Amino acid sequence: MAAITIDSTTETHALNKHPKGLYVLFATEMWERFSFYTMLAMFALYMRDTTGQGFAWSVDNTQALVSNYLMFVYASPLVGGWIADKKIGYRKAVMIGGFFFMAGHLLLSFRTIGIVYAALACLVIGNGFFKPNVSTLVGNLYSEGSHLKDRAYNIFYMGINVGAFLAPVVAEVVKGRFGFHVAFAVAAGGMAISVFILWKFKKHIEAADNAASRGPKTLANTAAVAVDAPPANASRQQAIDAVPDWKRVGALIVIFLIVIVFWMVFHQNGTTITYWGNDNTDWKVSGIISNAINPGWVILLTFPLIAFWRWLDKKGLEPSTPTKMVFGMVMTALAFFVFFIAAKIGEASVTPGGDPYAFKMSPLWLLGAYGVLTAGELMLSPMGLSLVSKVAPIRMRGLMMGGWFVATAIGNKLTQIGQLWDDWLHSTFWIFCSACALVMAFVLLLLLRPLKKAMPGV
């Protein structure tokens, strides 16, 4: 692929301020994520709906379908990124992905089960083309080594979360007034706005389409936002060249195993946590709105946490990356323990012989648990991606980045543990999720010393 060509105007932008293309891509991604999360916030409740709009599916069948969908969604960037990189270019891939997204959301506005499967296939294809390549375009707007690139990804990541926050809010209102199918059509409308912005202002990103700015940090940031994880923070100098490749790869495999379990429990947000918000939370809205809480916390916590790490770094107290990941997994376990306490209190309030699932708890439990869970996400997910870019041997960096996507996809497939939601007491399910995260935190703690030896300086 041709090397990046930057004219004097672009170079001035790269050195002094963010180019206009960043804001084009910010808006493009914000509306795409609005579209994506409008659908995801409603889908599990839609499949279970018994009013005649949905299909009255059981939790087991719904969970199986959602977990398979999420698995393919998070694996699809591997294929879409390769096609764009080798064959068609990034902007064209993003446009193709946008049209598949629109088709998928429009199809969901019609009620037949065959159309549902066709819609999900379109959404998987759309995500594969759109997500990795729009984030690659962001990196390609900047010259290699630009001090603005890290900040650009952080700004772009805010676009993801603004869209993800607005989506459930709008979905709640539209679904409440007009039903699921109109709300799915609104998701298609959001995607139409995204594609229009990209087409209308394409002149601001054309140079990035021809660029090949694929350094290790760019790869990590691209991968991060392709799976809706925070971008990696500024890295330190590493001294790991003397470490044998097998040790470095082994350390990353451990990280991948941790990530599998993290996504397995974290992405209960699209199903069982949504069910909790819908059936067991005492508020005058549906569980759809609960999907706005995590991106809301991300927007509030990301920059303070980055500032906190920098403050510790200046004092020489910043923990190593594996240590941060231990904290992240402990916080994840603690979040589900909060859910466990809430469920225990709720179950204890049910009269003897009554339905053990028929209770409602204050929304503060949901808000608090999500706050802790988001803190865990921010301490774990970007750290794992940063490790891949810094620790993987150069000749295996692409393979290891692919391993991150595969681990993410496997974790999302394992969200199928949500089939236990109506087989167990809710408290039992939540403590199971908490225990899974806590066990992996303990495993990671035991392996800290060998991990630090395999990745010195990180």
Q: How confident is the model at residue 311 (pLDDT cuts 50, 70, 90)?
A: very high
Tokens representing 452? 């630090």
Burial (Cβ within 10 Å: 0-12, 13-18, ≥19) of residue 448? middle
User: Which CATH number is associated with domain 8-229?
Assistant: 1.20.1250.20
Provide mean pLDDT across the span 248-252: 88
Please say if the pLDDT value at position 208 is more than 60. Answer: yes
On whether the CB atoms of residues 280 and 286 are closer than 8 A, the answer is: no
Q: Which stretch of 142-146, 242-246, 265-269, 332-336 has the lowest confidence by average pLDDT?
A: 142-146
Res 214: pLDDT: 60
The whole-angstrom separation of Cα 172 and Cα 179 is 9
Alpha-carbon gap, residue 8 to 306, rounded angstroms: 32
Q: What does the pLDDT read at residue 395?
A: 79
pLDDT at 368: 98
- For the chain, residues classed under CATH 1.20.1250.20 are 8-229, 232-458
The pLDDT assigned to 154 comes to: 84
Which one, of 356, 340, 313, 318, lies nearest residue 428 by Cα? 340
Given this model, what pLDDT does residue 15 score? 56
Buried b (16+ CB within 10 A) or exposed e, 158-183: bbbbbbbbbbbbbbbebbeeebbbeb
Averaged confidence pLDDT in the chain: 90
| Domain 232-458 is found in CATH 1.20.1250.20 | yes
* Chain segment 228-237, per-residue pLDDT in tens: 888 876 555 4
159-190 pLDDT, tens digit per residue, is 999 999 999 999 999 999 999 999 999 999 99
Q: What is the structure's pLDDT at 416?
A: 97
Place of tokens 């690659």: 136
- The predicted structure's pLDDT at residue 320: 85
Return the pLDDT at 1: 38
Q: Residues of the chain with pLDDT > 90: what percent?
A: 67
Q: What pLDDT, on the 0 to 100 scale, is given for residue 8?
A: 43
Q: Residue 3's pLDDT band (boundaries 50, 70, 90)? A: very low
pLDDT at 12: 43
pLDDT of 6 > 70? The answer is no
Question: With the CA atoms of 291, 426, 366 and 270 taken in that order, what torsion angle do they form, in degrees rounded to the nearest 10?
Answer: -10
| pLDDT over 80 (residue 384) | no
Q: Give CA–CA dist 275/266, Å, rounded.
A: 14
Query: Which parts of 337-453 are beta strand (E)?
Result: none
Give the model confidence (pLDDT) of 53-77 as tens digits.
999 999 999 999 999 999 999 999 9
pLDDT over 50 at 444, yes or no? yes
Of the pLDDT bands very low, low, confident and very high (cuts 50, 70, 90), residue 238 is low
Name the least confident of 63-67, 144-148, 371-375. 144-148
**Spacing of C-alpha 166 from chain mean position:** 16
CA distances from 137 to 35, 223, 379, 382 (A): 20, 12, 26, 19
Residue 23 has pLDDT above 90, yes or no: yes
pLDDT band at 196 (very low <50, low <70, confident <90, very high): very high
Q: Residue 10: pLDDT above 50? A: no
